[in-house]
């Protein structure tokens, strides 16, 4: 999970926003109670 979150953040930083958002949405579905994932997903939108 941590590696996927870091990957999503890196994608967002490199302006691959669509891919980053898709990965973050998947992570939110898999880990709905994880505050850092929810924060990153909200921040990415």
Query: How confident is the model over 5-27, as pLDDT tens digits?
Result: 999 999 989 999 999 999 999 99
Indicate the pLDDT class of residue 1, thresholds 50, 70 and 90.
confident
> How many other CB atoms are there within 10 angstroms of residue 18's CB atom?
9
Query: In this predicted structure, what is the pLDDT of residue 43?
Result: 86
Model confidence at 44: pLDDT above 80:
no
Query: In this predicted structure, what is the pLDDT of residue 27?
Result: 96
Q: Are 20 and 11 in contact (CB under 8 A)?
A: yes
């Amino acid at each position: 999970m941590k590696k996927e979150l870091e990957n999503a953040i890196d994608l967002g930083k490199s302006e691959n926003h669509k891919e980053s958002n898709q990965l973050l949405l998947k992570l939110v579905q898999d880990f709905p109670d994880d505050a850092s994932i929810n924060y990153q997903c909200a921040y990415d939108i």
